[in-house]
Amino acid sequence: MSRTVRIGVDVGGTFTDLLLHDPVRDLTWPGKLPTTPHAPNEAITAGIARLLAETATPARNVAGVVHGTTLVTNTLLERTGAVVGLLTTEGFRDVLEMAREIRFDTTDLLARPARPLVPRHRCRGVRGRIAADGTELEPLDEAGVLAQAGYLVEQGVEAVAVALLHAYRDDRHEQRVRELLARACPGLPVTLSCEVAPVVGEYERASTACLNAYVQPLMTRYLDSLRDDLLAMGIEAPLRVMLSGGGVTTSADAKAFPFRLLESGPAAGTIAAAAVARRLGEPDVLSFDMGGTTAKIAVVSGGGARRRHDFEAGRVDKFKPGSGLPVRLTVVDMIEIGSGGGSIAAPDSLGLLKVGPRSAGSVPGPVAYGRGGERPTVTDADLVLGHLDPAAFLGGEMRLRTAEARKALDREVAEPLGLDTVGAASGVVEVATAGMAAAARMHLSEQGRDPAGFALVAFGGAGPVHAYGLAKQLKISRIVVPMRAGVMSAYGFLVAPPTVDQARSLPSALTEVDWERVTALYAEMAARATAVLAPEATDVVRLRRSADLRYLGQGSAIEVDLPETMDAGLLQDAFEETYRATFGRSLDGPAEVVTWRLSAHLPGPDIPLGCEPLDGDPRRGVRDVRFPGHGRLEATVWDRYRLRPGTELTGPAVFEERESSCAFGPECRIRVDRDLTLLVDVGP
């Protein structure tokens, strides 16, 4: 039996995207169907079954399934996780309530921070103390641990988080607490802060441990259920899961540390954009992933996605730092906007047109879907403006209802604002595009970058539809639309490398670093990483070492790649160079190391995204399309599957494929690349 087939599955808010790849047959096959929010497994299994049937692939030939999910994020936002208890050092039970002791918005007297996941009465202190240097000041009170555990069980807790003082320096007390709980409360999930976030920051460690405990029971049930569904289909291959940092891990590791999946789905798109950038040789691209619910924008430079090691989940105000729950987590650095194809458009109380963040999702979906939606959305506006073909949407499987979309726009937008139908639709698209452009500018300005220097890689079901308008607003002159752009996140799952990220805080002035201890620390982290990635083939694991440094006296640190020779002088030079690149200047003074980091990964596969062009005339005809800045124009409609590599075209033009559509104005020059990727030069 030959197992060669891999399948990527991305469950979005509106559609579930799938991609099957079989290297033996040189076959890459997409799938897309509406998400089933009440039971995501239903769309996953239905989509996989369809892929197998359409490609005549026996289930036994599947070598692996890679999955990304928003379940962790949704559980946090909806507050539907487990009942959690927190055990911490006596005298520090208010660590979650006190947080950082600052207001995230000093101008809003009514601003309230995100509510802690564990209320105060379920935060319990136990005696025992580890000092900041790792020495034991007071032994652990084991009887006290058992007493507090009994109290938490009486409170009905379903999981316990343990966050003791300075556990990142010495974890023996936390490890002993788990042993005691395992005997006293068998089967009760326990999360240790020394395992999920062994880094400086008492509040951040406790918050991360609580979040992991909060979502762990639900995520375990979900992954076990999905595994059972795949087995019932005859798929015995391993199930892997996308991490927030852009790598993939085993389902066992995902069940142990589900907090690492917070940005699971969005990360895949950026990894896919990075793969496209590498194939094209584009040094700097802006990844633009617009689906049914949100749009995600990220920087890809030098063929790789930017990553960061802190994150805020469940923000009260999406664009205000400090309004969420801090998580010590490696994530792809991106900005997410509540603008998707399903984003609802309506005037606000002041009579101003607003688009999103409310979304029609997959149920009921946009009005044009005919599934019960009554509020107009961005997709309805795109249809009215001619960007979508009502008879060709989703390959003709879902016929869009133009008349109903027009009526909804008239009722909800045009009449209240005194516009005609087309004016209302244009306004919806312009507002959505302006919001995405503003978010992109803000994201790039934080990095000191100008969007005009980037190529825009557009994907997702709605990304290519809006790529031209966004590029015009950002003054970007080059657009890249990969083949199968509508399922690019699923492609990202298949090309993402298996990855393990490790971090250990060991604060020290750079001139006083114990290099022998650091070497031992890296050996320990590498051993743990390779045990997960490739326990029998450690030579194929690739390691990247870095450290978080800051000037003595500063509160924030920046990540610096370690030189090949670990030397204080070389590391000081590397730190100052990175500091100048980040802030435009460096300071005079010694640096200190806060955290040592190791990223371990296996090589990611190189999978072609294109397909062999079909025979026949690629020209489908012409239709009226309204382009931003140009108004109504007659555009040629092209079938992407029948275009030949090397073909050069001019706008106005519409390009259609099963999972997406894109349109470009008259000043655009379009070239079809070797794998049928569209390379678009946008003129002035």
pLDDT under 50 in the chain at which residues?
Answer: 1
Q: Which of 227, 206, 247 is nearest to 85 (CA)?
A: 206
CA dihedral 183, 186, 188, 194 (to 10 degrees): 40
Omega cis (within 30) before 34: no
Omega cis (within 30) before 357: yes
| C-alpha span between 37 and 100 (Å, rounded) | 35
| C-alpha span between 632 and 386 (Å, rounded) | 9
Tokens in use for 14? 């509106």
| C-alpha span between 638 and 656 (Å, rounded) | 6
Contact 618, 591 (CB under 8 A): no
Predicted pLDDT of residue 2: 67
Task: State the CB neighbour count (10 A cutoff) for residue 248.
Answer: 30
The structure tokens 């801090």 sit at: 326
Predicted pLDDT of residue 4: 87
Q: Which of 247, 258, 196 is nearest to 223 (CA)?
A: 258
| C-alpha span between 282 and 455 (Å, rounded) | 8
Task: State the CB neighbour count (10 A cutoff) for residue 115.
Answer: 12
Give 37's DSSP letter. Answer: T
Contact 466, 435 (CB under 8 A): no
Contact 343, 319 (CB under 8 A): no
Omega cis (within 30) before 684: no
Sign of the CA dihedral running 99, 105, 107, 110: negative
Q: Which of 581, 640, 583 is nearest to 609 (CA)?
A: 640
| C-alpha span between 372 and 387 (Å, rounded) | 22
- ∠ CA(408), CA(428), CA(411), 5° rounding? 20
| C-alpha span between 210 and 259 (Å, rounded) | 10
Question: Cβ contacts of residue 120 below 8 Å, gap of 6+?
Answer: 93, 94, 96, 97
| C-alpha span between 323 and 113 (Å, rounded) | 5
Q: Which contiguous run of DSSP H or E holds residue 310?
A: none
CB-count burial class (<10 Å; 0-12, 13-18, 19+) for 140: buried
Contact 67, 241 (CB under 8 A): yes
Q: How many residues does the chain have?
A: 684
- ∠ CA(206), CA(209), CA(214), 5° rounding? 120
Predicted pLDDT of residue 303: 80
Q: Which of 488, 498, 500 is nearest to 607 (CA)?
A: 488
Which residues face 662 on adjacent strands? Answer: 655
- Write a three-state SS string for 659-676: CCEEEECCCEEEEECCCC
Q: Which of 298, 168, 293, 184 is nearest to 245 (CA)?
A: 298
Tokens in use for 490? 């699923």
| C-alpha span between 670 and 681 (Å, rounded) | 6
- ∠ CA(295), CA(446), CA(111), 5° rounding? 75
CA dihedral 285, 246, 365, 634 (to 10 degrees): 20
- How many helices (H) and strands (E) the chain has is answered by 17, 35
Predicted pLDDT of residue 172: 94
| DSSP letter string, 326-360 | EE---EE-EEEES--TTEEEEE-TTS-EEEEEEE-
| C-alpha span between 67 and 241 (Å, rounded) | 5
Q: Which of 447, 224, 227 is nearest to 333 (CA)?
A: 447
Contact 480, 457 (CB under 8 A): yes
What pTM, to 2 d.p., does this model score?
0.87
